Amino acid sequence: NKTLEYFQPYVAVVPSNIAFLKYWGKSDEALQWPANDSLSMTLSDLHTKTKAQVSEIPEHQVRLNDQEVFREDKVGQKIFKHLDYLAEQLQTREKLIIESSNSFPTGCGIASSASGLGALTLAAVAAWTASPSLEVLASKGFSMDRLIQWARIGSGSACRSLYGGVVHWHRGSCEKEQTVNQAFDESHWPLMDSVVLFSDAEKSVGSTEAHRSAWTSPLFAPRLASLNSRRDAMLQAIEDKNMKFLGPLIEQETLEMHGVIMSATPSVHYFGAETGKFLAWLRERRTALDLDVYFTLDAGPNVHLIYENHLHERVMQLLQETVDSSRILSDHMGAGPVLTV
């Protein structure tokens, strides 16, 4: 007895996130158990919007940024695999029509797996359970905790995008004990992230593959041994709203992650000379201007500049010295996902 409600579209908007303490390396790949805790800031305007609708069709139909993708496609694989996983959890055989688009330009180098797999999880579960809001989902037994565990299976970083503000993914002492919680909400300390785009070339080595080789780096074990103290220092700096303390910690963290990536086998360089030159320039100029703007990079060449909202104009003015404005995407800390019909 399926009602019209069951066949209507359900829409999830899930923002991207930028990690201060990086998720790099897994203790168990199949169970998606990270080697360490991570901390991130959830963004707002940089997001994925995904519409899911139950339909009487023989196979899921998926459109990504207006292009149909198939089970066999490189991009399609992760999506269909996750739909299969979610269908198994919900014990359904119903097929979905999925339409998904990113608010940021495709191939600009902004990772879409966190927002993409997060939005896919919420939209698909909402459609299959005919739940028009997060509250209804929770009332039907699909708590945020449960949805987060499912999003994590789709992509590790996606689990951090299901809360707003500053989010802490705890590794726990075994796979089942890992949890995700909001450490601070978005009103605690308004921060911005301005992304400076350096390349739109496709990554030579995907992050899932690079995660795997982290263990071959001689720097990885010492990193893991000291990471909890950096985590605690970061949480304290955020609590105190102290950018002079937080900034150097996030820079050290991203450089350490890239050190692991470069010293692993196979060795990967995710950023080149242009990015390197920019980082050196930034350090010099911010000291000269006494401007608290700090960098972090993901597994790619783009630079994320983190600073307090009130410095936005000054940061833009500074960037004008060396970067074309078409290569800058600015966003602020956001409140997390939205689910509607």
Contact footprint for ligand 2P0 (CB under 6 A): 19, 22-24, 38, 113, 155-157, 207-208, 211, 298-299
Residue whose token pair is 């305007």: 45
Q: Which is nearer to ligand 2P0, 214 or 318 (CB)?
A: 214
State the minimum distance, in angstroms, from the CB of residue 85 to ligand 2P0: 13
The string of DSSP codes covering 214-272 is GGGSTTHHHHHHHHHHHHHHHHHHHHTT-HHHHHHHHHHHHHHHHHHHHHSSS------
State the minimum distance, in angstroms, from the CB of residue 118 to ligand 2P0: 10
Q: Which is nearer to ligand 2P0, 207 or 213 (CB)?
A: 207
State the minimum distance, in angstroms, from the CB of residue 48 to ligand 2P0: 13
State the minimum distance, in angstroms, from the CB of residue 300 to ligand 2P0: 8
Helix (H, G, I), strand (E, B) or coil at 274: helix
State the minimum distance, in angstroms, from the CB of residue 212 to ligand 2P0: 9
What is the phi/psi pair of residue 196, to 5°?
-100, 115
Q: Which is nearer to ligand 2P0, 40 or 53 (CB)?
A: 40
Q: Which is nearer to ligand 2P0, 103 or 157 (CB)?
A: 157
Q: Which is nearer to ligand 2P0, 156 or 165 (CB)?
A: 156
Q: By Cβ distance, which residue is nearest to ligand 2P0?
A: 156
State the minimum distance, in angstroms, from the CB of residue 111 to ligand 2P0: 6
Report which of 239, 229, 144, 145 is spatially closest to residue 183, judged by C-alpha positions: 239
Q: Which is nearer to ligand 2P0, 24 or 104 (CB)?
A: 24
Report which of 24, 38, 42, 40 is spatially closest to residue 230, judged by C-alpha positions: 38
Phi-psi region of 39 (alpha: psi -120 to 50; beta: other; left: phi over 0): beta
Pairing type for strands 33-34 and 67-69 reads: unpaired
Across the chain, how many H-helices and E-strands are there?
A: 9, 14
